[in-house]
Each structure stands twice: as C-alpha cells, then as structure tokens.
Amino acid sequence: MSKVEVLIVEDEPEIAELIAFHLRREGFATRHVTSGRKALDAARENPPSVLVLDLMLPDLDGLEVCRRLKQREETRAIPIIMVTAKGEETDIVAGLELGGDDYITKPFSPRVLVARVRNVLRRHDGDAPIASEGRLVLADGALTIDTNRHVVLCHGQPIELTLTEFSLLHHLAQRPGFVRTRDQIIAAVHGRSTVLSSRTVDVHITALRRKLGDLSALVETVRGVGYRFAEAMPALDE
Amino acid sequence: MTLRLSDTTGFRAGLALATVLAIAALALFVGLGEDPTGIRRLVAAGILLVAGGGALVVGWRRGRKQANAAAGLIAAVEAMPHGPAPSLNGRWHTELTPVARAVDRTRRTLASRLAGLEQASAEQNAILQSMGTALLAIDHDHRLLSMNRAAADLLGLDARAVRGRLVEEVAREAELNAFVKDAVEASEPLTAEFRINTGGQRATIQAASEPLCDEQGRPAGLLVTLTDITKLRQLESLRSDFAANVSHELRTPITNIKGYVDTLVQVGVEDREQTARFLDIIRRNAQRLAAIIEDLLALSRLEQAGLRESPETKDTPVRSLVREVVGQLQSAADAKQIVVEIEVPEDLMIRVVPSLVEQAIANLVSNAITYSPAGTKVRVTGAIADGGFVEIAVRDRGPGIAPQHLARIFERFYRVDRARSRDHGGTGLGLAIVKHIALALGGRVEVESKVGVGSDFRLLLPVGTGVASSASPSTP
C-alpha cells in the first residue's frame, strides 16, 4: 500500500520543514510547494490525499487556491486544512465556506496539526460516527441521535427537541470536531424545518444546549467562526 | 386765471365759488317775473351753467386724485411680498393719508421681516451648498426636487437642468436608482453602500435616505445623502493589510520557535545533526523577532518624538556622517566586491541629530549593497538642493523596483518579494524608518527606479532646521 501523501503549501521554508518533519514521523509522505500557483499545478498533476494550505501566499492567496480546487471535479475531493497567520476569523469563515475542511492558526502545535490531518482523512474514508440504521451514537454512548424516528436520547432518556434544534444537532454531530459556520448551518438546516438567520442560529443553539443538560458542552462555540460538535478525541486545543 | 392751491384748499374754493354763482343765478330767477323778455333768464341760465360746470370739473379732478391715491396704495400693498417698496410717505395729502401711513408702517415691518427671512434662507442655502455631503431631495415619483452642489458634482449633473426630472433618467447608476426605489417603497430611513462612477473613477458611496414631510406632516418624498467613503475604505484596507502583515511577520518566527522547541521537547530528536539544525532555526527566528521588535520600537519612538527638540541636535558635516555609515558597512560591501563611492563636498553642513541621519543613510546604503549584484558600484552623494534642503542620494545598479511597488515601499512590512527579503534577513521596516526619520527632521525621502537599471533614493533634509527648527525658545 502506498503512503498517504500530504501536499504542504507554505512560503515560509522553516514552517514547511517543521510540518513535513512531523507528518513524516507519523508515516505520511510529504510534498512541499511555496506558492498558490504551484499548489494548483501540483494538486492537478498528482492529487495528494490531503492539502495543508497556508492562506497567506505570494501570487495566489490560499482562499483562491481553495476555491479553484473545490471548483474542479478532479481536485474537489481533496481535503484541505487551512493554516492561517492572519488570526482573522473572516478568513477562516470564508475558507470553510469555500469548502475548506478544517483549519489551524499560527502558532500551532505540530501534534495538533498531525491530529487534524488524521481527522480529515478518517472523515473522508467514510469513518463517520454513524453506527447503524440511521443512528448516531456519540460521546461514548451518552448521546444517541435516531434520525429515522427523530428521537434524541440523553443517557438513554429521550429529550424533547424542536424540529430546528434536532436539525442543528444532527448537522453538527455528523462531523464531530469540524467547525460549521453559521451560514453553513443555515444552508444545511434551511428547508428541513424553518428559515433561519444567523442570529436565530445562536438562539436555537442556546435552547438546544439547555435541553442537553450535562451534555451541553458537546455543542461548542468557536468564537467568530461558528459551532462544532465536540471531538471524541483527546483534547486537541492549542 | 389759475388757482395754485393745495388739493384740499382748491377743492374747497371751487365748491365755494360754485355755491356763490348758484345763489346769484337763483336771485336772477326769483326776479324773472319783472323781465318777460328773457335776457335775464339767459344770463341766469348762463351763470347756472358755469357754476354747474365748475362744480363738475372740481369734483372730477378730486375723484381722479382719490382714485390715483387708492391705486397707488393698492399697488404698494401688492408689491409688499416681493420685496422692499419705496416709501409712501408724503405722496398723498388726501383723506387716504392715514391709510397710506398705516400701509407704510406695515410695509417697513414686512420689509425687515422679509430681509431676515431672505438672509436665513441664504444662510441655509449656503450651508447646504457648501456641505461636503451630497444631498438630493426626491419626490415620490422619483423626480428630483433639488440637490446641492456636492450632489451635482458627485453625479456629474447640472442641478438646475435636471430639476423635476426622474432620477433614473439623469443618474445612470443602477445601484443608486435601486436604492432610491427601495427607499421610496420603504418609507423609513434606509442606508446602503455601493459604488458609482464619478469623474471617471469608481467611488464607494454610503447612501442614507430620510423621508421628507410637508407642513402637514404628510409624506412628500425623500432626502437622500450620499457620502464618498472611498478614501476611508482605502485607509481601512491599508490598515487591515498592515495588521495582516504585522501578524504574519510576528507569527512566523513565533510559530517556528514554538514549533521547533515543542518538537525538541516532546518528540526528542536522536540525530545530533538534526538537533543542531533545529536549534539553529530557533536561534535565527529569535534574532528575526528581536530585529522586528527593535525596528518597531524605533518607529514608535520616531512617531512620538515628532519635532521635539533634542539635546543631540548639532551642526554636522554631511561627509563625516556618510563616511561613518559606509565604514560600518564596509565588510558587507567587500563581501560582494561592491565599491561604495562617496561624493560629498567637504563644507556641506547640516543641523540635525547625527545618529538619526546616520541610521537613515545606513538603511539606504545597506539596502543598496544587499540588492545589488556582486561587483557593482553604489554611489552616495551630498549636495545643496532647492528650498534650503540638503540632498543625500544613494544610487545603486541593482535590479530596480517595478512601478506598482514603488509607491508602497515605504509602508511598514511592505515587501516587493517576501522570499527574497527573508533570505536577506530584512525586517520589512527599514524604508519605513528612513521615511519617518526624514519626516521627524522636517524633510522627506524620494525614490526613482527602473527595473534592470537601478534605484535612486534621495533623502532631503532642511539645512539648518530639522529637529531644531521647532525648538523651544530655550534653544540658543
């Protein structure tokens, strides 16, 4: 079996070397390019398993690279982890909405980066938390979402959720550890229950958390970006 | 015989004469019986005719005067709303005189009120006209009621010519017209931001609408204000570019230091060579961070210092300043076989803080050496320039700077080529420091460059002024 290859797009050579060093130690193969255009060429010629993409690049910026890769059929499926030194939530939100899969901010811990790479790969291999027959079992069995019957069990006890709250929870729980922006949440929930605005998303989230009781921490706020369902992995916060 | 009498006396005399004649005629008629021949009758009839005719003439003249006076009054009253009318006083000595006086008083009061109103209106108009904000009054059918000068300029219209015409017709700006349409429909204040063409350029406009009401409080249309916020947006983008650059410049070395330290601590690297390499990366990045912080502090000091007098200010020979700097950079120049030529007249003096000017020249010369190909020449010249300035120029035969970068190279952290400047270990602040030193000393910095030919940086500083120019009175 060939090694899983990560394409590192980073114009700072020492940071690229650091990322490559850790990924190789974990058994990944790495390639490194220093500009947006080179990244597009490299991804089209020989699509990698994952792209680690710095957003601030000479020539073509990372957001544009992300947009173009997600537009093209042959590169759309490549998971993208954005790396940003800007620390600006607007870039992260824009990147996620362009189809970026996850992000880390500089300065980052190399171990977090490796964990994120593993995470997007697992997600793309279809290793989602779906157990069987439309049932999502989460938080070591403490939370069960039965999508067929529209029932949520907290520690085995059913809780009453509105249609919107259910849709929100279900949408986030499908991708634990991945941030969803408010607009992404609206797009996913829209039509299924009711029309949402970005402020009402917050209101529904608050109501949902109250009903989840001691499991409320599973729905995490990512300041300035959106919400995510807590990752079932060891603590990864920088 | 003509009677030169005043209107009233003449009138009364006329009446008296007519009465006397009438009595005389009557007396003649009484004695008719004694004169059947009719001679006396004829005389009496004649006298009666004369008396009647005289009374008629006097009465007619009197009536005409009255009518004239009344007509004059009416004209004067009618003229009142249109502005100050000539005084009525002393023109009519008739029974209408008191009326005329009353009218005259009213006229004067009215005239002064009108003048006040006109002044207030002129003031308001002047304010509206000279406002930087463009104002448009629009009725419910999208017709332009009025606009001020700023609006006419912004939209490139003749305010008088377009009055009463549809906004859509005269302003061919889809977004503006859509805004007007929305605002009319909304009947509540609206705001929007869009871009329009003005004077051949795209301008970012902030539009706000406010419903207009007539005196009875009924909706009458809209007041639309258009503010050109192009410069503001440009500044914001400059600021955010700067913030992003600072963030990138600071986080990159920090990310490296933190990442490599974590790696050494957590992972542990067995390979000695690898460990040494990682430690070297950490050291380099720490140095880079230190250099950036040093330069940022220098800039911040320059901004604070402004034009303050410094005890270090003194008359300094320019040649010794340049020699000092070139001496410090000699080894860097030698390493690339670059010859630095100095051409500064011995007697060229400048009154400045020497260390500041040295730093500015050093940054320019160091850039010249860094970016010039090996074996080329760098020339540093000094001369008196126009307007009491000393010009210190640094010319190189380097790669030159493309025009699109030239205007921005004095911005903090602006990089023509990030990779290249990183290789050279620059902080991205050198030219910003040069610029701020020049400004702090009351001078400026200029650049000319041609790709493939070289660059020419000129530092222009006031000969005897600089920091000392704005000195407090305590300066000797």
How far apart, in Å, do the first and last CA atoms of chain A sit? 33
* Closest chain A residue by Cα to residue B277: A14
Spell out the residues 6+ positions from residue B389 whose beta carbon is closer than 8 angstroms to its own: B443, B460, B461, B462, B463
pLDDT at B62 over 80: no
Q: What is the mean pLDDT of residues B89-112?
A: 74
A34 contacts in chain B (CB < 8 Å)? 419
CA separation for the pair B393, B235 (Å, rounded)? 30
Q: Which amino acid is at B278?
A: F
Question: Hey, are the CB atoms on A110 and B254 less than 8 Å from each other?
Answer: no
What count of other Cβ atoms lies within 10 Å of the Cβ of residue B391? 18
User: What are B316-368's pLDDT values in tens digits?
Assistant: 899 999 999 999 999 999 999 999 999 999 989 998 888 899 999 999 999 99
A66, A95 Cβ separation under 8 angstroms: yes
CA separation for the pair B187, A31 (Å, rounded)? 60
CA separation for the pair B445, B468 (Å, rounded)? 19
Taking phi first (over 0 means left), then psi (-120 to 50 degrees means alpha), and beta for anything else, what does residue B83 get? left
A230, A218 Cβ separation under 8 angstroms: yes
Helix (H, G, I), strand (E, B) or coil at B238: helix
* Closest chain B residue by Cα to residue A14: B256
The pLDDT confidence band at residue B287, using thresholds 50, 70 and 90, is very high
A161-174 burial string, b = 16+ CB within 10 Å, else e? beebbbbbbbbbbb
pLDDT at B475 over 60: no
CA separation for the pair B221, B141 (Å, rounded)? 8
Residue identified by tokens 């035969």 is: B397
User: What are B400-445's pLDDT values in tens digits?
Assistant: 999 888 888 998 888 887 777 777 778 889 999 999 999 888 899 9
pLDDT higher at B68 or B471: B68
Q: How is chain B split into domains, by residue range?
A: 1-128, 131-228, 234-302, 308-470
Chain A touched by B256 (CB under 8 Å)? yes
* Closest chain B residue by Cα to residue A85: B248
The pLDDT confidence band at residue B467, using thresholds 50, 70 and 90, is very low
CA separation for the pair B53, A228 (Å, rounded)? 117
Q: What pLDDT shows up at residue B1?
A: 43
* ipTM of model over 0.85: no
Architecture of domain B234-302: Orthogonal Bundle (1.10)
Spell out the residues 6+ positions from residue B348 whose beta carbon is closer than 8 angstroms to its own: B317, B318, B319, B382, B383, B384, B390
The pLDDT confidence band at residue B11, using thresholds 50, 70 and 90, is low
Q: What pLDDT shows up at residue B318?
A: 93
Residue whose C-alpha is closest to residue B438's, from B473, B394, B402: B394
CA quadruple B143, B149, B153, B157: dihedral positive or negative? Answer: positive
| Burial grade of A74 (CB within 10 A; 0-12, 13-18, 19 or more) | exposed
Spell out the residues 6+ positions from residue B474 whose beta carbon is closer than 8 angstroms to its own: none
A220, A230 Cβ separation under 8 angstroms: yes
What count of other Cβ atoms lies within 10 Å of the Cβ of residue A41? 12
Backbone angles phi, psi at B393, to 5 degrees: -115, 140
Question: Hey, are the CB atoms on B252 and A12 less than 8 Å from each other?
Answer: yes
Q: How many residues does chain A have?
A: 238
User: What are B350-362's pLDDT values in tens digits?
Assistant: 988 888 999 999 9
User: What are B227-244's pLDDT values in tens digits?
Assistant: 988 888 888 887 877 777
- Dig out the tokens for A215 from the structure: 């499991």
A169, A152 Cβ separation under 8 angstroms: yes
Interface contacts A/B by beta carbons within 8 Å: 60
pLDDT at B305 over 70: no
A237, A223 Cβ separation under 8 angstroms: no
Compute the nearest-CA separation of B255 from chain A (Å).
4
CA–CA distance from B165 to each of B141, B157, B160, B269, B339 (Å)?
A: 10, 12, 10, 80, 72
Q: What is the mean pLDDT of residues B135-153?
A: 88
Q: What pLDDT shows up at residue A28?
A: 94
Question: Hey, are the CB atoms on B419 and A34 less than 8 Å from each other?
Answer: yes
Q: What pLDDT shows up at residue B83?
A: 58
CA separation for the pair B144, B222 (Å, rounded)? 10
pLDDT at B168 over 70: yes
Mean pLDDT taken over chain B: 82
Question: Hey, are the CB atoms on A109 and B262 less than 8 Å from each other?
Answer: yes
Q: Which residues does chain A have with pLDDT short of 50?
A: 1, 127, 233-238
Please give the sequence-ordered ranges of beta strands (E in DSSP) within B156-310, or none if there are none.
Answer: 190-198, 201-213, 219-228
Helix (H, G, I), strand (E, B) or coil at B433: helix
- Dig out the tokens for B353 from the structure: 């803080």
Q: Which amino acid is at A74?
A: E
CA separation for the pair A31, A41 (Å, rounded)? 13
- Dig out the tokens for B125 from the structure: 């108009």
Please, what are the domains in chain A?
5-124 (3.40.50.2300), 130-229 (1.10.10.10)
CA separation for the pair B200, B184 (Å, rounded)? 29
Residue whose C-alpha is closest to residue A123's, from A50, A60, A73, A14: A50
* Closest chain A residue by Cα to residue B256: A15
- Dig out the tokens for B415 from the structure: 């990089």
- Dig out the tokens for B215 from the structure: 């005196």
Chain A touched by B265 (CB under 8 Å)? no
Supply angle C-alpha B413, B418, B424, rounded to 5. Answer: 95
CA quadruple B244, B245, B251, B255: dihedral positive or negative? Answer: positive
Helix (H, G, I), strand (E, B) or coil at A96: helix
B259, A20 Cβ separation under 8 angstroms: no
B417 contacts in chain A (CB < 8 Å)? 58
Taking each helix axis from N to C end, the angle separating A13-25 and B230-262, rounded to the nearest 10 degrees, works out to 50
Q: What pLDDT shows up at residue A37?
A: 93
Q: Which one of A56, A88, A110 has the shortest CB-CB distance to B259?
A: A110
* Domain B308-470 falls under CATH 3.30.565.10: yes
Q: In whole angstroms, how large is the CA radius of gyration of chain B?
A: 47
Question: Hey, are the CB atoms on A11 and B256 less than 8 Å from each other?
Answer: no
Chain A touched by B417 (CB under 8 Å)? yes
How is the beta sheet containing A143-146 ordered, strand by strand?
A: A130-132, A135-138, A143-146, A151-154, A157-159
User: What are B15-49's pLDDT values in tens digits?
Assistant: 677 777 777 767 766 665 555 567 777 777 777 78
Beta bridge partners of A108: none
Beta bridge partners of B457: B394, B447
- The one-character DSSP state at B263 is I
Helix (H) or strand (E) holding B442: none
Spell out the residues 6+ positions from residue A207 whose beta carbon is closer than 8 angstroms to its own: A162, A165
How far apart, in Å, do the first and last CA atoms of chain B sit? 100
Q: What pLDDT shows up at residue B388?
A: 87
B264 contacts in chain A (CB < 8 Å)? none
- Write out the CATH class of domain B131-228: alpha beta
